[in-house]
Amino acid sequence: MNIIEKRKQAIKCLYASMALISLSIATFKLELVMILCAVTGVMFFLIYLHLSFKYWKCPACGEQFPVIYSRMDQRVECWYCLEPLIKD
């Protein structure tokens, strides 16, 4: 799996965590549901951070890309050394 796919997975985890955390805020009256949503949401967020820090960097020069979703996510080559990120 290449790093672009890993990054897409990470972004999906980020969206899932945001959805779950909003759901936990919306269901604050249902204590158990709220806790479950909050805990899973935080777990997804941690997976996102883990995937981003571990894989979201240039395989050629090793520079870390911005962990926060940014224009970097639309690029196919490294910002720093211009090495293509997808290799077949």
Binding residues for Zn ion (CB under 5 A): 58, 60-61, 78, 80-81, 83
Cα–Cα distances in Å, from 62 out to 21, 65, 81, 87? 33, 9, 10, 16
d(CA 51, CA 68): 12
Nearer to Zn ion, 11 or 60 (CB): 60
Q: How far is the CB of 83 from Zn ion (least distance, A)?
A: 5
Nearer to Zn ion, 12 or 75 (CB): 75
d(CA 70, CA 1): 21
Nearer to Zn ion, 26 or 81 (CB): 81
